[in-house]
Structure 1
Amino acid sequence: MNKAALGRLANEVRTDFGLADDQPFDPFRWSSENGIPFISLREFTADEAAMRHFLEERPHVWSAALLHDGRRHFVIYNPERSPERTRSDLTHEVAHFEAEHDPSPAWTDEGGGCGGTTKAMEREAAELAGAILVPLEGARRSAIRGLAPQSVARRYQVSVEMAEWRMRMSGGYEIRRRARAKR
C-alpha cells in the first residue's frame, strides 16, 4: 500500500472508533472490540529462560508480535516497555492486522532479533501505526501552530520521537516556514 492508502486506512480505523483528530487511539479498546487479545509475555509463558532472555537480557530485540494459532489472532507483547512505547508497539501490531498482513511463523535472526514479516510489511505497519496514533491533520495543525512535540506527545499518549516524526512527515513544519517567510 502507498502512503495515501495507508492514510485512508488509518482514518477509517480512527473513524470506526469515533475519534477526532485530537484524540488518542487506545489499542486496548481496539483489542477488546475486535476480540484479538493482547497478552504480555509474562502471562503467555512460564518459561523462565525465555522471559529472562526477552525481558531482561535482550529486551530491546523484541516488542510485540501478531500471531495466529489456526483459530484466532492474538498479540504477545513485551510488558517492560514504557506505556508510550507499549501503545506504539501494540498499534504497530494492530496495523499489521488492519493492513491484512498474514502473520508468518516467528523467527530469530543471527543478531537475536525477532521477525516474521517482510521489510515492506514492516514499513507499511510503521506508517499505518503512526497515522493511527497521531493522525495527519492533527500532526499538521500542531506543527503549523508551532506546538512543542512534547505537548503533542502528551495529547496522543505517544513518545516525543513519535510526535516529532508525525509532525515532520505531515508537512506542517514546511507550511509554517513558508507562511513565516511571506510575512
Structure 2
Amino acid sequence: MTGKRTINKAACKRLAGEVRTELGLDTMQALDPWQLAELYGVRVLALGSLPLDQAVRDHFHNVRPHAFSGALLPHRNGAIIIENDAHPLARRRSTMSHEMAHVIGEHKFDTSLVNERGCRTADRLQEDEAAEISAELLVPSDAARRLARQKASDDEVALRFGVSIELARWRMNATGARIIARRAANYRRASGS
C-alpha cells in the first residue's frame, strides 16, 4: 500500500524562519533573494547576460517570456541559478526564492531536466515543498496574520514584501490570516471586549 507523499508545512515554515534569521530579517522585513543566493554561494546568471543566439534570447524575453522563469542547475560542487531578467522584479523575486528554496531544502537534482518528449521533469513533492518554503520566505505567515489584523490590502502586502499582488493574495488566503483576523474581531465584538 502506497500513500500519497505530502509536504510538512510546519517544517517548511521552521526552515524558512531559520533562514530569515540567518539573514538578520524580522517577520515584517522583505527578503532579498539575491542576498540569500550570495549567502549560500549560489551564482545567479541573468538569461540576458548569457552568450545565447539573439533569436533564443528574443524568444524567452519577448515572444514567450512566460515559458521560462528560472532554473537551478548543478555546477561543479554547487549550483547556479539562471533567471529570466525580462520578467518584472516581483516575478523575479518569486522565481529566485523558489529556486533558493530547493537549495535550502537540500533537494536532489534529477539526472535530466527534460524527459524523452522534451518536457521538463520535476519531483512534485520537491516542487510543492519549494513553493511552500519560498512563500514563507517571501511573506511569512506570522506577518500575514499581523497584516490581516491591521486590515492591510493585498496591494499593501505586495508593496511591503516586494511580491506580486497575486502572491500577496495567495499568502493572505493560504495562511488563513484573514479568516483568523475576522474570527478574532467577531469574538471581541460578541464578548464586548
Q: Aligned-pair RMSD on alpha carbons?
A: 1.8
Letter in 2 for 1:25: L
- TM-superposed CA distance for 1:137, in Å, is 0.4
- Residue 71 (structure 1) shift: 3.1
**Structure 2: where are the runs of 5+ without partners?**
1-6
**CA distance in 2: counterparts of 1:48 and 1:123, whole angstroms:** 34
TM (normalized to structure 1)? Answer: 0.91
Q: Are 2:50 and 1:44 aligned?
A: yes
Counterpart among 94, 105, 114 of residue 107 in structure 1: 114
Q: TM (normalized to structure 2)?
A: 0.86
The answer on whether the counterparts of 1:103 and 1:117 sit within 8 Å (CA) in structure 2 is no
Q: 1:136 aligns with which of 141, 165, 176?
A: 141
Counterpart of 2:163 in structure 1: which amino acid?
V
Contact kept? 2:31, 2:137, Cα under 8 Å: yes
Q: For residues 118 and 158 of structure 1, what CA distance do their matches in structure 2 show?
A: 25
Q: 1:88 aligns with which of 89, 94, 108?
A: 94
**Which is worse superposed, 124-133 or 171-180?**
171-180
Number of the residue aligned with 1:57: 63
Equivalent residues of 1:103, 1:116 under 8 A apart: no
Paired residues, number: 181
Q: C-alpha separation between the residues in 2 aligned to 1:157 and 1:19?
A: 14
Q: Secondary structure at the match of 1:175?
A: helix
Percent identity over the alignment? Answer: 39
Residue pairs, 1:66-81, within 5 angstroms:
66-81=72-87
Within 1, Cα distance between the matches of 2:41 and 2:115?
Answer: 28
Q: Give secondary structure in 1 for the equivalent of 2:82.
A: strand
4+ residue segments displaced more than 3 Å: none
Aligned residue for 2:172?
167
User: Residues 109 and 2 from structure 1, CA distance in 2 versus in 1: closer, same or farther, beyond 3 angstroms?
Assistant: farther
**One-letter amino acid of the counterpart of residue 140, structure 1:** R
Offset of residue 116 of structure 1 = 3.6
Max Rg structure: 2
